[in-house]
Amino acid sequence: MFSDIFTPKEGVKLPKVVLKNVGKKFNGITALEDINITFEDGEYACVLGPTGSGKTTLLKVIAGLVEPDRGEVQIEGKNVRGIPPEARGAVYMHQQYALFPHLTVSQNISFGLLARGVSEEDARRRVLEVLEIVKLGRWADAYPHELSGGMQQRVALARCLATGAKLLLLDEPLGALDARLRLDVRSELSRIAEELNLTVIHVTHDQSEAMSLADKLVLLRNGRILQAGPPEEVYLKPNSIFSAYFVGESILLEGVIKRINGNSVFIELRNGVVIEAPYEEGFREGDLAVAVVRCEDIIVGEGPLMGLLKEISFLGSFSKIIFELPGGIKIPVNISLA
């Protein structure tokens, strides 16, 4: 059973974060532009985008570590512009764990609590609770150099949880871990967020990480939000060429709409091949079009497309083969080895 700092009081909502028309520039260079987004109570949101897209700046604006040039940031219905980070009810976790090497795990977690005036008894109780939550109870007296990277990451997370904040802001929290550890800690993050009723905003450039964790996926590019919604929606119904290209592995086939027949459109590609695609409102014959094909939707067999096998890569549970069609169009296909 967790203490009151981890149990929301009846009728009290979890943090809801709203950004309205937020903009930020550094030395004349746009970092964020017209950001309008709502992160709901208890939601696990992942902000995904390439390097330099503004992900960390967005997180720091919410945390209060960066002041926006314009716009409004609300947490639980209150405009928090000008309010210092420690008074926002949020906790920001850097990619670098920043553990004190000369302090034990318990001392690292309690350091900030004691500095803020929490009694030693209360701090000790919180430390024991969060260590159980992150499953490091028996490592309380260990030093950081005695821990693996994944364990150090969980200590940093425990230090955040000990504050009792219900809004957790994670900046590339798994970026320094190897592939196996990332999977393990990813699972722990999901469990802890649900167990403690946290609202989480998690910045990452890792697609699989974002898709597996997020209730809401926010796609950022050049400081602008291109698409936001459930991961399934962003993946299956991209609203831009960039969304289709960046999320998942896709082939983009350019062509012209030659014919519309009921619920189907027929697109003639640059190499003269005609493909069929679902009709969407607004399509017209003669329009330029880009067809998005997911690699997992392609199979190798007899069909109308002829190509040259250019490459085969063994990737463990599957192999990737690259076909080149007439006109230079390259088609990657994943073939399961099961």
User: Are residues 180 and 91 both part of a single domain?
Assistant: yes
Q: What pTM does this model have?
A: 0.84
Query: Could you tell me if residue 242 is inside a domain?
Result: no
Query: Could you tell me if residue 285 is inside a domain?
Result: yes
Query: Could you tell me if residue 33 is inside a domain?
Result: yes
User: Are residues 138 and 277 both part of a single domain?
Assistant: no
Q: Which residues contact 8 (CB under 8 A, 6 or more apart)?
A: 14, 166, 197
Does the pLDDT at position 300 exceed 90?
Answer: no
What's the pLDDT at 40?
93
The two three-digit tokens of residue 237, written as one number: 């119904």
pLDDT band at 299 (very low <50, low <70, confident <90, very high): confident
User: Are residues 174 and 221 both part of a single domain?
Assistant: yes
pLDDT digits (tens, 9 = 90+) for 45-100: 999 999 999 999 999 999 999 999 999 999 988 999 889 998 898 999 987 778 99
Query: Could you tell me if residue 243 is inside a domain?
Result: no
SS3 169: strand
The Cα–Cα gap between 135 and 141 comes to 14
User: Are residues 169 and 110 both part of a single domain?
Assistant: yes
Q: What is the CATH number of the domain that holds 116?
A: 3.40.50.300
pLDDT band at 3 (very low <50, low <70, confident <90, very high): very low
User: Are residues 187 and 84 both part of a single domain?
Assistant: yes
The mean per-residue pLDDT over the stretch 195-223 comes to 93
User: Are residues 298 and 165 both part of a single domain?
Assistant: no
Does the pLDDT at position 228 exceed 60?
Answer: yes
Domain end residue (candidates: 170, 202, 236): 236
User: Are residues 193 and 325 both part of a single domain?
Assistant: no
192 and 133 Cβ atoms separated by less than 8 Å: yes
Backbone angles phi, psi at 248, to 5 degrees: 80, -175
Does the pLDDT at position 256 exceed 50?
Answer: yes
**Which residues lie across from 192 on neighbouring strands?**
none
User: Are residues 257 and 332 both part of a single domain?
Assistant: yes
SS3 281: coil
User: Are residues 255 and 232 both part of a single domain?
Assistant: no
Domain end residue (candidates: 209, 236, 263): 236
Give the structural domain span for 278: 249-336
Does the pLDDT at position 227 exceed 90?
Answer: yes
Q: What region does 28 belong to: left with phi over 0, alpha with psi -120 to 50, or beta? A: left
The mean per-residue pLDDT over the stretch 164-193 comes to 85
pLDDT band at 6 (very low <50, low <70, confident <90, very high): very low
Higher pLDDT, 303 or 237: 237
Domain count, the chain: 2
Query: Could you tell me if residue 244 is inside a domain?
Result: no
